[in-house]
A and B are shown apart, each in its own frame.
Chain A
Amino acid sequence: MKTKTPSRLEKILTAGHLAVTSECGPPRGSDPEVIVKKAEMIRDYVDAVNITDNQTSVTRMCSLAACIRLKLMGLEPVLQMVTRDRNRIALQSDILGAASFDIYNILCLSGDHQSFGDCAQGQNVHDIDSMQLAQTVRRMRDEGKFLGGDEIKRPPQMFVGAAANPFADPFEIRVPRLAKKVAAGAEFIQTQCIYNLEKFEEWMKMVVDRGLHEKVAILAGMTPMKSAGMARYMKNRVPGMDVPDEVVKRLADIPKEKQAEEGINICVEAMQRLKEVEGVKGFHVMAIEWEEKVPEIVERTGLYPRPNID
């Protein structure tokens, strides 16, 4: 089947396989070994690896450099790019930089507000927003043009992604906001971490009813909980997160030393259930600073070995 880009992620999805992506957070320092180690742990278990872009507004090694590192290792990076820190010049410039290393996937985000991070007194840019960034990449790729209208020599070939929060309110725009991202040019979606399965399934039904599942590949976001404490933190402190009480209770009801294992169980059970949901095209497993658990999760969900597509 023909794809629009050389992206392995796009090829896997186009071939009708459930895709598996994961993410690595770059280090707060310049040691490349941190990324190399994380990537080695998961390389055979995922189709592509997102590199976060100064997530939670904490200054880290840049996503682009870490993506290049992955590419040089033979992995498939997904360049996460937030509109918080760069204006349209820098965004387009970094896209070209990534394209020069044949990075074929990008995830367009607005980014957490800087007040959460280590530079709370800093400015934010937000020259364009995440939807406009998706539009920009599509224009650069499909029309071979800069925002300013000039022609790009050797345009980027990137499979364009965006994030979605199935639990967001107001309710009226839960699906329209996805429709808008699709209209802006998003070809794959990685969702917010899913713990409330019923609510997610409800959302997927609305997405399917509107036919959006045929226009965009939805990868369900999964983050295993390490402890009841983490579940409570996610529930109460992380903006936009929907963690049902029974998930917190299930973890809290068992001894501390067993909670991590139970967190993995919850994650695997959820993935097994969501595999069957119409419109779910794969999973984005975000095991935060717990990358070593990704292989187990992927195996237990029956998603290993990964299809060999190239």
Chain B
Amino acid sequence: MRTGVKYIGVFMAESDVPSIMNQNTALSEVCLEVKNLKVLFHTPRGILRAVDDVSFTLSRGEILGLVGESGCGKTMTALSIMNLIPFPGKISGGKVLFMDKNLLDLTQDEMRLIRGQRISMVLQDPLGSFNPVYSIGNQLSEVVRKEKARKERYGKVVHALKQVRISNAEDRFHSYSFELSGGMNQRCAIAMALLPAPEIIIADEPTTALDVTIQLQVLALLKELNKSGRTAMIIITHDFGVVAVICTKVVVMYSGRIMESASTFTILKSPAHPYTKSLLASIPRIGGSKELHAIPGQPGASLDSVQGCLFASRCESVSPICREQTPPMKEVEKNHWVSCWKIESD
């Protein structure tokens, strides 16, 4: 008998979870470690905490899911890794260790060697990812600009396009983004991200702008690329369905802070934080209850001055202490961390 979790029809057995989850084995090589990252935005209305004391690790071959509603800081976290926080934001604390080097200490010139080469990114809007006046091939070639010979570059780009299952790759090289569908554009964007054989690919809502049928194709592609190249990935999404399909571990964020982090299997099986539980319950299920469960209130970054647990105002199981003090991160089971006062009292 298979033990496991049934989740929107995707049956995930415990054995499906890669053994890389065991942090103590020598096989797992931590390539990215984010420690106590803090990003503040200085706006006329006050100082907003976009990212507040966020920490997580990413090992080779892992696919990390960064989950949360809009405005919770997931994109800002990704941009912090690349050190491209736009004005008026500023990284005000923490470290981003990539291969044991703090990326935040690097100069812009040094950082440019990493961006797009060793850590690359895929964005949400496939059509918007490409400059409409240049061909796809032209823009993919930019990523392999180190290769001086034009023919070699062309060859590499075409090979990458083939890897992402673009038919007629030789012709597609000369196509423009507006000539291709959303799904094809996104696959080209993925090709662009994987072309230089990076250690990490960060995908920010890669399937949100695509048709449902295409979404699964793209996710399957990402999973395959991860398996074959041992490329670590960070998938930013608000959709637990995406998480269930490809992520090996999950970090749930709210208002800039991490609420819960665990392996995908664990989180789907036994979510601990009320927010995580609400997110999972909000997804309509065939055969589930008739009423749609919604989380009252609005998500978003909070002002620097706000005290206590940031989810308190929308939490079902809120208690007085939640509004006064921020709950610490506690390990409730192996590699399952939660920041919630309710866990303390349980």
The finding on whether chains A and B are genuine partners in a shared complex, rather than unrelated, reads: no
Where the two chains meet, the residues of A that have a C-beta atom closer than 8 Å to any C-beta of B are none
Where the two chains meet, the residues of B that have a C-beta atom closer than 8 Å to any C-beta of A are none
